């Protein structure tokens, strides 16, 4: 099959793409489309900006380049950088703008995929593109549909005290998270870990679910689906400052050092025992202040304005003065 995978440029997107490609590249022609889009809400307060810094800015601007410089010939670690994935699997990878743009739609027509898979992709995929592949266009939503539609669903699952977090494999349609469901993959939430850790593993549950269904697609059949129920459907926006604060006080940290370094160790051939890990830890520490906070919010072409970044710094001053404790809530024990 000719498969187009739509993925995101950040830490969760990179490790998810690694896991997905492992199950696809040996038997299929795969082309990867990347997005790099940051919502205004993701840099609207110190909690959100801290999370997106550890997920995206520090990773894209510093950690992945460090890995590529440290291992210029690649390595045999289970996870690779985006460049490393291209080299390891000899596949093509491009970053596009919005999928609804004329250029993106034309490029997809030229690729003529048999199957499209959207995994942590930023942009809405228009109906024209959804209808292109003969075997369908499937998404992996990191929440159990229809109960948890919208953004940052693992946050909502943990906020509600659920025992598990679901990643829904579904066929895309013209709505947002409304398409017919194939199956929900489940991850047992570990409340002793961080939001980021549970977020990443929620995606893994969805990817493993897709790979279990892959033989049906390889046989030339679309996947069997069921229509989503309208009962219990809830759409959640990105968490607010108040919701983040309550979460970090009552539920779990957004990021923990041991979680963060363990995820980064997947990019090292020796894992947590790799001799390069201390150097990588030093790099991460150099990008943080003494409390463990990312030094800055990094605006992107779409998003975070100077006003948002100034507001982040103002709030960090409030946090450090004692009104809250972001060094527990963001990256603890660096």
Which of 86-95, 117-126, 175-184, 309-318 shows the lowest mean pLDDT across its residues? 309-318
Cis peptide preceding 254, ω within 30 of 0: no
Question: Is residue 14 classed as helix, strand or coil in its secondary structure?
Answer: helix
DSSP three-state, residue 302: coil
Q: Strand pairing of 115-119 and 137-141?
A: parallel
Q: In CATH, what number is assigned to the domain containing residue 237? A: 3.40.50.12230
- Rounded to two decimals, the pTM is 0.88
Q: What is the distance between the alpha carbons of residues 331 and 73, in angstroms, rounded to a whole number?
A: 31
What was the pLDDT predicted at 64? 98
How far the first Cα of the chain sits from its last, in Å, is 45
Which residues are CB-neighbours of 148 under 8 A, at least 6 positions away?
Answer: 156, 157, 166, 234, 236
* Cross-strand pairs, 139: 118, 170
Contacts of 227 (CB under 8 A, 6+ apart): 180, 181
DSSP per position, 111-177: H--SEEEEES--SPPPHHHHTSSTT-EEEEESS-TTTSEES-HHHHHHHTT-SEEEEEEEE--SSSS
Which pLDDT score, from 0 to 100, does residue 297 have? 39
Question: DSSP strand E in 217-287: where?
Answer: 235-236, 255-256
Range of the domain at 156: 2-332
pLDDT value at residue 233 = 86
pLDDT tens string 18-71? 999 999 999 999 999 999 999 998 989 999 999 999 999 999 999 999 999 999
Q: How many CB atoms lie within 10 A of CB 124?
A: 14
Contact between residue 23 and residue 136 where contact means Cβ atoms under 8 Å apart: no
Distance CA 267, CA 158 (A): 27
Per-residue pLDDT tens digits for 218-242:
999 999 999 999 887 889 999 999 9
3-state secondary structure (DSSP) of residue 281:
helix
CB of 57 closer than 8 Å to CB of 327: no
Q: Between 176 and 143, whose confidence is greater?
A: 143
SS3 44: coil
CA–CA dist 165, 180 (Å, integer)? 19
Report, as an integer, the average pLDDT of 299-304: 35
Predicted pLDDT of residue 292: 54
Closest CA to 329 of 11, 50, 45, 39: 50
Distance separating alpha carbons of residues 258 and 32, to the nearest angstrom = 30
Number of domains within the chain: 1
At a CB cut-off of 8 Å and minimum separation 6, what does 76 contact? 269
pLDDT of 93 above 90 = yes
CA distance 195 to 155: 7
Q: Which helix (H) or strand (E) holds 5?
A: strand 2-8
CB neighbours (10 Å) of residue 94?
11
pLDDT at 333 over 70: no
């Amino acid at each position: 099959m000719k498969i187009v995978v739509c993925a995101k440029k950040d830490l969760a997107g990179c490790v998810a793409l690694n896991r997905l490609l492992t199950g696809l590249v040996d038997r299929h022609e795969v082309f990867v489309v990347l997005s790099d889009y940051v919502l205004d809400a993701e840099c609207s307060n110190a909690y959100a900006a801290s999370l997106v810094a550890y997920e995206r800015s520090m990773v894209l601007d510093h950690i992945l380049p460090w890995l590529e410089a440290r291992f210029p010939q690649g390595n045999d670690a289970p996870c690779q950088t985006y460049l490393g994935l291209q080299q390891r699997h000899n596949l093509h990878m491009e970053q596009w703008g919005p999928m609804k743009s004329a250029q993106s739609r034309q490029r997809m027509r030229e690729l003529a995929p048999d199957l499209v898979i959207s995994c942590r992709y930023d942009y809405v995929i228009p109906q024209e593109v959804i209808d292109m592949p003969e075997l369908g266009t499937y998404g992996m939503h990191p929440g159990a549909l229809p109960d948890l539609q919208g953004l940052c669903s693992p946050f909502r699952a943990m906020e509600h005290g659920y025992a598990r977090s679901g990643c829904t494999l579904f066929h895309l349609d013209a709505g947002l998270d409304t398409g017919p469901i194939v199956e929900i993959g489940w991850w047992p939430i570990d409340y002793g870990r961080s939001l980021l850790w549970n977020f990443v593993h929620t995606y893994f549950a969805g990817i493993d679910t897709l790979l279990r269904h892959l033989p049906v697609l390889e046989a030339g059949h679309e996947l069997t689906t069921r229509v989503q129920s309208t009962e219990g459907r809830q759409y959640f926006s990105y968490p607010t400052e108040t919701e983040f604060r309550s979460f970090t006080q009552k539920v779990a940290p957004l990021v923990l050092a041991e979680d963060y370094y363990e995820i980064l160790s997947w990019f090292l051939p020796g894992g947590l025992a790799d001799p390069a890990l201390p150097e990588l830890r030093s790099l991460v520490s150099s990008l943080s202040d003494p409390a463990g906070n990312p030094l800055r919010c990094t605006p992107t072409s779409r998003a975070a304005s100077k006003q948002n970044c100034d507001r982040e710094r103002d709030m960090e001053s409030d946090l450090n003065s004692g009104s809250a404790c972001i060094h527990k809530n963001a990256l603890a024990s660096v």
